[in-house]
Structure formats: C-alpha cells, structure tokens
Amino acid sequence: MSCFTEIILLKGNYTMSLLKKITSFIHREGWKFASISLITSLFLLFISTPLATIGFLLTFFIIWFFRDPDRKTPNIKNKIISPADGKICLIDKAKPPKELLMDSKEMFRICVFMNVFNVHINRSPVKGTIREIVYKEGQFLNASLDKASEKNERNSLVIETEDNKEIIVTQIAGLIARRILSFVNDKDKIDAGERFGLIRFGSRVDIYLPEGSKAAVKIGDTVKAGETIIGSL
C-alpha cells in the first residue's frame, strides 16, 4: 500500500470518526436541520463569505440546541428526578390537566422552565409504565406564566410507578417553542432518566405528584434532566 493511499485512508477514518462524534452529540431530531444548514452554508461560500459565516454560526447553534449528553441517573427508590434542564419556576398545588379526565383533586406540582440555551431532551422522572399519553392543542404564551399550564399546547404522560403511584409529566409549548415531540407510547415500560420526548426552542415541563410528596428544590434552583433529584414520593 502506497503512502498516498494510507494518507487517504487515515483522513477517511478521521472524517468518519468526527461524523460519528457529531451525530452522537446531537439527537437524531436535529440531524436534518444541521445538515440543511451546513449544506446551505457551504453553498454560500461561493457567493458571500459573510453570509456563509452566518450560516456556519447557525449550524453551530442547531448542533448545540439539539445536543443530547449522557446523564448519570441516581438509582434511589421513591426519588423524583428532574424531567428537564432549566430552572424551577413554580412549586404549588394544582389540578391535573383537564384533558386527562382524572380526579379533579389537586396534586403537588413542580415546574421546570427551559430557555433556548438549555438541553431540550426530556427524561422520565421515575421508573414505571406509561398508562396514558394525551396531546392538547393550545396557545403559545410565555411558558413561565402560571396560566400557560392551562392555555398552552401541551402533551401529558401518566406514569404508574412500581408502587402503583401515578405521576403526571406535562410538556408545555412556550412563546417560541412550537413543536412537542414524544418518543414513547402507551403501555411502554420506562426507566428513571430515560428519554421520552423533546420540545423545540424553549418551554416548560410540569410534574404532578401524589399527595404526601415533598420537594427537594426551591424556586430559582437550576436542575438537570435525568440527574437532579427534585422531590420524593
């Protein structure tokens, strides 16, 4: 084998390795957007360097937005793990989303607000079985507002724990977020910290817990999906 061939193979292997690292860094939902942005930016190089620069910066932002880092989830019984990256914006008691047609009794609620710079992959707060998934169309108000939980577009999951307790996780679209994605189905088994969905471009996730649950965080605390313990059953 010639030196030239070896160099070509080495470069090819390096390129493939780099591509694997990039694709593993971002969630598959972002591959399409990143590819379109990158191809467009390369095309713009032949037209305008400033425009191409803007395109490459946009590509970088897309890759950063759709990043999907691994998380080490604590394996502690009866602990609630944060379903989203962001800040705790509300801790109170509230009735479950109406579309779930559940008992109107108030539940303990913890809300996590995500801005556009947070990781937007959502993870299950507990280990259990998904009993119901209900999507509800709605408005796109600022997700940090309390009324967003009733007015905004949302997607709710009812998860039954191994101890037969029901946890509700609601993905809420925000002022910029216009796309809620769910990766799971009814009757799926799910582990604490397992990915279950994504909300594009800033939003909020509410967790409804049964009576007697306690918060391990306070309003303003920064949390990480799949890692931070935010409460206990």
Nearest to 167 by CA among 204, 127, 194, 134: 127
As a 3-state breakdown, the chain gives helix, strand, coil percent values, each rounded to 5, of 25, 35, 40
Name every residue whose Cβ is closer than 8 Å to that of residue 174 and which is 6 or more positions away in sequence: 140, 141, 142, 143, 144, 148, 152, 199, 201, 202, 203, 204
User: Catalytic: which of 37, 124, 203, 213?
Assistant: 203
Q: Which residues are registered as beta bridge partners of 152?
A: 139
Residue at token pair 């479950």:
96
C-alpha distances (whole Å) from 130 to each of 9, 15, 122, 153 are 47, 40, 15, 20
**Residue 203 known to be catalytic:** yes
What residue type is 33 in one-letter code? F
- Helix (H) / strand (E) element for 215: namely strand 214-215
The catalytic site residues sit at 203
